[in-house]
Structures are given as C-alpha cells and as structure tokens.
Amino acid sequence: MVGHGGTKTVGILLAGLLLAAGLSGCEYTDAGDPQPAAGPTRSSPPRVQLPTKDQATVALEASNLVAAKQLLGAASGAVILEDSGTVGGPVSGIRKTARVEDAGPYTVTAACVGASDVQLVIAQDPRTGLAPQDQTFDCSVPYARVVQLQPGPVTVQVMVMRAYAGASAASTGGGVAAVRITAGG
C-alpha cells in the first residue's frame, strides 16, 4: 500500500513526464548558436533585355513578310502547319510543331526575303517517323520538297545559318521567312 507521500511522488513523476513529453519537440538555442536558414529561397535570374527594333526595321520586316508569303503562294492541299517570322537578327527563327494524322506524302514549302543561306529543318521522332532532314536554301526562289510523314508530331524550324559576326546582314534585321506543310505530294 502506498501512503500519502507515495501518491504525491507518483503525481510529481507523472507531471514531470508529461512536461518532458510536451517539451521534447522544442529546440532552444543560445544567442551565440548559429541560426538555421529560413528555408530554401528561390530567386529568378534577371531577365535578359531583348533588343528593341527601330521603326525602320519593323516596317522592313512587315514588307518582307508580305513578299515572303507571296513567294510561298497559295496552299495546294490541306494545310497541317503554317508559320512565319523573322530570321535575321540576334533573336529570331521560326519553330513550330503540328500533328500529322495520316501517313503519306506531304509538301514542305518555304520562302524568305531579306536574308540568304536560310536553313530549314523538318523532323519527326526518328524511331517512328521522318528522321531530321535539313536543307539550306537561297531566298531568291521558294523551296519545295515532298517528304513522307508518319502519324504523330512534326516539327519545322527555319533559321539563318551564318554566325552573328559584327554587323552582318544576319544581325541587322529585316530577314523573314514563311513555311507551310500541306497534305499530298
């Protein structure tokens, strides 16, 4: 049998255990202890300022785009992909992806104005479709080629090939291209 003194001792022990359990999740640090980091912080790199174009370059590109679309001509079949844009200057090029529904021959047509040595790349997943095909063509005449495509995504990219060295024609702007893929060959 436990007397009054024993009951009091058991109560104090239970209170001490409960207090210890409640404080076990707490952490105490001295002023001299290193402080943990507040958690991971993310900062975005500063945005790169894109070069601005003067009004003369914008007007030239607009005029050249009209001329490139005229060179491209009217579509001769169902259009599955069509795009246009600048190919001259430090930030330029056309890249577009579309979905091919049916296997068969497709015509890739491209035209450019205000640039030369333009490269066109067309590709599908080489395991299931057309392996990457590239062709450099002269802007003085439209480019056309029939390719066999399989169902799935197809990507077309048009860009100026020469390196941007000094004040070359590629870096001054004004060059544009238009590209189209149509069903049938």
pLDDT digits 0-9 by tens, 42-69: 556 666 665 677 888 889 999 999 999 9
How do the domains of the chain map onto residue ranges? 55-183
End-to-end CA distance of the chain: 104
Looking at residue 152, what is its pLDDT?
Answer: 94
What's the Cα-to-Cα distance from 104 to each of 55, 132, 164, rounded to whole Å? 44, 17, 38
| More confident of the two residues 170 and 5 | 5
DSSP state of 140: T
Q: What is the pLDDT of residues 64-112, one digit of tens each?
A: 999 999 999 999 889 999 999 998 766 678 999 999 999 999 999 999 9
Residue 130 pLDDT > 60: yes
- The sheet with strand 94-100 has its strands ordered as 94-100, 152-160, 118-123, 133-137
Q: Which of 123, 126, 134, 131 is nearest to 97 (CA)?
A: 123
Looking at residue 42, what is its pLDDT?
Answer: 55
> Which CATH code fits 55-183?
2.60.120.380
Tell me what the pLDDT averaged over the chain comes to.
77
Measured from the Cβ of residue 64, the count of other Cβ atoms closer than 10 Å reads: 24
Looking at residue 57, what is its pLDDT?
Answer: 86
Q: How far apart are alpha carbons 146 and 182 in whole angstroms?
A: 10
pLDDT > 70 fraction of the chain, expressed in percent and rounded: 64
